[in-house]
Amino acid sequence: MSWINRVVAQTLPAVPKPIVRRVSARYIAGETLDEAVSTVRELNRGGMTATLDVLGEFVSVEAEARRAGEAYLEALRTIDRERLRSHVSIKLTQMGLKIDLDLCFEITREVVEEARRLGNFVRLDMEDSSCTDDTLEIHRRLHELYPNDVGCVIQSYLKRSAEDVRRLAAMKANVRLCKGIYLEPAAIAYRDPQEIRDSYLRLLERLLGAGCYTGIATHDDALVEGAYRLLDGTDPAAYEFQMLLGVREQLRQSVLDRGHRLRVYVPFGSHWYAYSLRRLKENPQIAGHVLRRILNGKS
């Protein structure tokens, strides 16, 4: 049935939104900040920290980018007020990256400044390869001003990542390392799953060796096991595992049971549909579940 699941995953845009919303609810904390707070509080009770993400990307209007910045300021203040153990993660295209680099820097700097004031932290998420240079440039500028309050993301499937990690290691940057999810040309990205895993472990070893605080973001059993080997003798304060809300809870629990710190990415907001489609396409088994709900007449 796996081939059927994959076919369904590619045709999900034709699925009625109410069905997608119900099936993808496991991946999303809700549409409101209050719902996200409840999810984070539950994760905190379970011994996990969180990263809040206000869903949205690729805005084309300045006013919308500024509203996104305000939403993150509100999220940071709510985290502080509710005494939650949570950071925030932002996509720079939501902050106007494709409108104007300086506008994006201005909005993002205000968010990072507020995080610094509140003793919190901002992760600059990584998007498709058209954003990589500008994202790393904004990170560099912010890191000069707020070295302890901002971090970035590196995707192991991009062939350029070895050089990017070399520069980030020299900066002692805080880096979240993931495989990468965007469809990229073979000229710039590894396609073979084992090549991506090998790249991931090489990058992880370099980051840890350079003393960079590293978020080991993966749900891949082979990478988790590889990370365990690389972490042997490493200060537990130098890294954390990171996973997505609703994905592989048993693996998540096993990481906790082995005594490692774990952070869960908690997305929320009104722009849930595009995020849901991406998550479902990444997980064809869940896409197959969507098909079964349709055939059973459920919505």
Backbone angles phi, psi at 133, to 5 degrees: -60, -45
Q: Is 176 a catalytic residue?
A: yes
Torsion region of 170: left, alpha or beta (phi above 0 gives left; psi -120 to 50 gives alpha): alpha
Gap between the Cα atoms of 285 and 288, Å rounded: 5
| Cα-based torsion angle of the residue sequence 35, 54, 169, 188 in order, rounded to the nearest 10 degrees | 130
Gap between the Cα atoms of 95 and 107, Å rounded: 6
Q: Is 149 a catalytic residue?
A: no
Find out whether 50 and 86 touch, Cβ atoms under 8 Å: yes
Gap between the Cα atoms of 138 and 122, Å rounded: 13
Catalytic residue among 176, 252, 263, 279: 176
3-class state of residue 240 by DSSP: strand
Catalytic residue among 125, 149, 197, 263: 125
Gap between the Cα atoms of 159 and 132, Å rounded: 12
Gap between the Cα atoms of 125 and 19, Å rounded: 28
Question: Alpha helices of the chain — where are they, by DSSP H?
Answer: 2-10, 17-23, 33-45, 62-82, 101-117, 132-145, 161-171, 193-209, 221-231, 249-257, 272-282, 284-295
Q: Which residues are catalytic?
A: 125, 176
